[in-house]
């Protein structure tokens, strides 16, 4: 036995794994850090792994061989995702959120670190079997959900801008048609922001007709990257026909009645239980 | 003893605490969740608390009385903050980061979830003794550091916008003079984004003359809130005189030589060791 008790080692191990999702740590490195034999370390990891499985905290995956090690894959289960979606719906249906013009006030929700981490966990669960290199979004309100999801997927965030700034260096600019206002808009991205051949997940806070998501997917093509999915926090029921074919949403906004101050939303079907 | 071993309980406890910094959990709630007596729970927490102190992971604080409970205050120590700052400096001084016009490319760094969490930990350490309700920033590149810091401080993020949008509802708009370009600019914030009397920390990615930070502090006043501090990731050596008096920076950009592709930066003095 080294200088730490098992109950201390399991804390240090889980801390490291929880703070670095989807990174592979060599068992040897862990054993050295803790000052114990590799066999004790394996037992510690088995304990954590069984506990995570039982509590549905996600998966602790052990791989063997030269590049082997231990890795934490965060995901939630059916019950967990239902709880997150139901809470989100309840918070957003609050009648005080109706804005003049029939818009929805939700900035406080997507900028709340605790809430957005939970939503990120849902997207990370949905896309856990894809290898994602970049989470691509457009300024402004898509950034928090992109950051939260990218952390879980061990990806980097890339943010397209609506205006081109001299301080950003050479950019690629594309024009796209905003689905709802039918206006021509532009988005720009630094030339070096994405390397060719990489896997991209597009995330945004809101989708109406899908024009922005379509623009972002064209940016993915322009950089010779591979689009792995599109996700939004809030989708709208109308228009029914969107400019992108496949996408995943958390909530669907069915109607806002400005006069009665009523918001009606539905949740997407919950994520199925993980079967390892 | 309940159904879980101590080494399992310590994992579940640390997970809960690590994922909810600065939130107070009643010991009773923990004991009930784990199915053990409050006395066993206290021993578990003592073990975690001593370990966190020894490893300088932050403080596990136990408070007694009716509103008492256990809480995790994240902070780093001198050695930890020096390592984070030195790494950041090394990454950003890379000659490939020189952009035409003598600008610095750093978007990939501030949008990297792993890196920005570490920088957030530095700001959380710096402001750990203030009660912060809101971390205020302006779109776009200040958002990730604001989110990361707010998570540690258990605060909400508030983002001012450069343009006013109809979808945002009633806003407060202020005009301010950009320190570097001397142009009049505007920033807007939803009327309900901050409640009066609350404590605000302003964070941004970059400060040149400090015009934006000054504009944001005026917004704080406009909402009858209390400014607790201003922090930026990168400060510039010139102009030496800034439009705000007190602020905390992580790195100072001394010079960029576009021809030689040389970037020269210095780190701020490291955060002193925490003395509980």
Residue where a domain stops, chosen among B17, B48, B73: B73
Are residues A62 and A91 located together in one domain of the fold?
no
What residues have CB less than 8 Å from B221, skipping those under 6 apart? B227
Neighbour-count burial for B10-46, b at 16+ CB within 10 Å, e otherwise: bbbbbbbbbebbbeebebeebbebbebeeebbeebbe
Size of interface A-B (CB pairs under 8 A): 153
In the prediction, which pLDDT does B63 show? 86
Separation of alpha carbons B236 and B238, rounded Å: 5
Assess A114–B contact: CB distance below 8 Å, yes or no: yes
Which chain A residue is nearest to residue B55, measuring alpha carbons?
A12
Are residues A26 and A108 located together in one domain of the fold?
no
Assess A51–B contact: CB distance below 8 Å, yes or no: yes
pLDDT-based confidence at residue B1 (cuts at 50, 70, 90): very low
In the prediction, which pLDDT does A240 show? 94
Instruction: Select the residue of B143, B167, B192 nearest A144 (Cβ to Cβ).
Output: B143
Assess A172–B contact: CB distance below 8 Å, yes or no: no
Are residues A68 and A100 located together in one domain of the fold?
no
Q: How far is B134 from chain A (nearest CA, A)?
A: 10
B221-242: average pLDDT = 97
Are residues B179 and B119 located together in one domain of the fold?
yes
Half-sphere exposure (CA, 13 Å, Cβ side) for A32?
5
Give which of B36, B42, B33 is closest to B12, Cα–Cα: B33
The two beta strands, A103-104 and A134-138, are unpaired
pLDDT of residue B165 exceeding 90? no
Contacts by residues A7-10 (CB-CB < 8 Å, ≥ 24 positions apart): A7/B5, A7/B6, A7/B7, A7/B9, A7/B10, A7/B44, A7/B47, A8/B10, A8/B47, A8/B51, A9/A34, A9/A36, A9/A40, A9/A41, A9/A44, A9/B7, A10/A44, A10/A47, A10/A48, A10/B7, A10/B8, A10/B10, A10/B11
Residue A46 lies in a domain: yes
Q: What is the mean pLDDT of chain B?
A: 93
The two beta strands, A59-63 and A226-236, are unpaired
Separation of alpha carbons B107 and A159, rounded Å: 9
Q: Worst-scoring range by mean pLDDT, A23-27, B85-89, B165-169, B271-275?
A: B271-275
Q: Do A99 and B6 touch (CB under 8 A)?
A: no
* φ/ψ of residue A242, rounded to 5: -105, 160
Residue B39 lies in a domain: yes
pLDDT-based confidence at residue B275 (cuts at 50, 70, 90): low
Could you write out the DSSP letters of every residue in chain B? --SS-HHHHHHHHHHHHHHSTT--B-HHHHHHHHTS-HHHHHHHHHHHHHHHHHHTS-EEEEE-STT-EEEEE----HHHHHHHHHHHHHHHT-GGGEETTTEE--HHHHT-HHHHHHHHHHHHHHTTTS--SEEEEETTTTHHHHHHHHHHHT-EEEEEBSS--GGG-SEEEEEEE-TTT--EEEEEEETTSS-TT-EEEEEEEEESSSHHHHHHHHHHHHTT-EEEEEEEEEEESSSSS-SSS--EEEEEEEEEETTTTEEEEEEPPPPPPP--
pLDDT tens digit sequence for B12-62:
999 999 999 999 999 888 888 888 988 889 999 999 999 999 998 999 999
Assess B47–A contact: CB distance below 8 Å, yes or no: yes
Q: Do B14 and A11 touch (CB under 8 A)?
A: yes
In the prediction, which pLDDT does A275 show? 54
Residue B218 lies in a domain: yes
Residue where a domain stops, chosen among B49, B73, B97: B73
Residue B34 lies in a domain: yes
- The structural domain count of chain B equals 2
Q: Do A103 and B55 touch (CB under 8 A)?
A: no
Assess B1–A contact: CB distance below 8 Å, yes or no: no
Interface test with A, best of B2, B3, B9, B15 (most A CBs within 10 A): B15
SS3 A162: coil
Interface test with A, best of B8, B35, B76, B110 (most A CBs within 10 A): B8
Interface test with B, best of A113, A119, A185, A200 (most B CBs within 10 A): A113
In the prediction, which pLDDT does B276 show? 47
* Residue appearing with tokens 């592979």: A24
pLDDT tens digit sequence for B61-119:
998 877 779 999 999 988 899 999 999 999 999 999 999 999 999 999 999 999 999 99
At A67, which CATH number? 1.10.10.10
ipTM of the complex: 0.95
Are residues A247 and A146 located together in one domain of the fold?
yes
B140-158: average pLDDT = 98
Residue B136 lies in a domain: yes
Are residues A56 and A121 located together in one domain of the fold?
no
Are residues B31 and B95 located together in one domain of the fold?
no
Give Rg (Cα) of chain A.
21
Q: With contacts defined as CB-CB under 8 Å, which chain A residues touch B113? A: 147, 150-151, 155-157
In the prediction, which pLDDT does B30 show? 86
Which chain A residue is nearest to residue B19, measuring alpha carbons?
A114
Q: Do A190 and B105 touch (CB under 8 A)?
A: yes
In the prediction, which pLDDT does B28 show? 86
Are residues A41 and A24 located together in one domain of the fold?
yes
Q: What's the token pair of residue A9?
A: 């080692």
Are residues B66 and B126 located together in one domain of the fold?
no
More confident residue, B189 or A167: B189
Which chain A residue is nearest to residue B157, measuring alpha carbons?
A111
Contacts by residues B233-236 (CB-CB < 8 Å, ≥ 24 positions apart): B233/B110, B233/B119, B233/B145, B233/B204, B233/B205, B233/B206, B234/B92, B234/B104, B234/B106, B234/B205, B234/B206, B234/B207, B234/B265, B235/B206, B235/B207, B236/B206, B236/B207, B236/B208
Given a contact cutoff of 8 angstroms between Cβ atoms, the answer to whether A105 and B192 are in contact is yes
Q: With contacts defined as CB-CB under 8 Å, which chain A residues touch B169? A: 99-100, 103, 105
Range of the domain at A58: 6-73
More confident residue, B224 or A163: B224
In the prediction, which pLDDT does B260 show? 96
Q: Which of residues 216-245 of A touch B (CB under 8 A)?
A: none
Q: Do B51 and A12 touch (CB under 8 A)?
A: yes
Q: Worst-scoring range by mean pLDDT, A36-40, B119-123, B245-249?
A: A36-40
Q: With contacts defined as CB-CB under 8 Å, which chain A residues touch B114? A: 20, 151
* φ/ψ of residue B196, rounded to 5: -60, 150
Are residues A14 and A130 located together in one domain of the fold?
no
Residue A34 lies in a domain: yes
Are residues B50 and B89 located together in one domain of the fold?
no
Q: Do A169 and B55 touch (CB under 8 A)?
A: no
Are residues A25 and A104 located together in one domain of the fold?
no
At B131, which CATH number? 3.40.50.2020
Given a contact cutoff of 8 angstroms between Cβ atoms, the answer to whether B153 and B73 are in contact is no
Residues in chain A predicted with pLDDT less than 50, given as ranges, are 1, 276
In the prediction, which pLDDT does A273 show? 61
Residue A94 lies in a domain: yes
Residue A276 lies in a domain: no
Residue where a domain stops, chosen among B41, B73, B105: B73
SS3 A171: strand
Which chain B residue is nearest to residue A189, measuring alpha carbons?
B107
């Amino acid at each position: 036995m080294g200088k730490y008790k098992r109950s201390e080692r399991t804390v240090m191990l889980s801390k490291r794994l929880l703070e670095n999702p989807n990174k592979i740590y060599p068992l040897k490195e862990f054993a050295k850090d803790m000052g114990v034999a590799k066999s004790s370390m394996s037992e510690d990891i088995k304990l954590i792994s069984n506990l995570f499985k039982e509590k549905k905290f996600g998966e602790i995956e052990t791989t063997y061989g030269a590049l082997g090690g231990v890795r934490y894959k965060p995901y939630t289960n059916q019950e967990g995702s239902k709880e997150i979606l139901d809470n989100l719906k309840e918070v957003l249906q609050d009648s005080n959120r109706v804005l003049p013009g029939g818009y929805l006030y939700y900035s406080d929700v997507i900028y709340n670190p605790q809430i957005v981490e939970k939503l990120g966990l849902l997207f990370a669960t949905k896309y856990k079997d894809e290898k994602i290199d970049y989470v691509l979004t457009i300024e402004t309100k898509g950034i928090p959900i992109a950051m939260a999801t990218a952390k879980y997927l061990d990806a980097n965030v890339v943010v397209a801008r609506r205006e081109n700034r001299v301080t950003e260096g050479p950019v690629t600019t594309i024009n796209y048609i905003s689905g709802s206002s039918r206006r021509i808009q532009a988005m720009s991205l630094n030339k070096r922001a994405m390397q060719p051949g990489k896997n991209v997940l597009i995330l945004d806070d809101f989708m109406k007709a899908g024009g922005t998501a379509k623009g972002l997917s064209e940016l993915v093509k322009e950089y010779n990257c591979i689009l792995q999915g599109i996700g939004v926090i809030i989708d709208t029921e109308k228009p029914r026909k969107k400019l992108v074919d496949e996408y995943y949403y958390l909530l669907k906004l069915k109607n806002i009645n400005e006069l009665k101050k009523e918001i009606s939303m539905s949740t997407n079907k919950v994520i199925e239980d993980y079967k390892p």
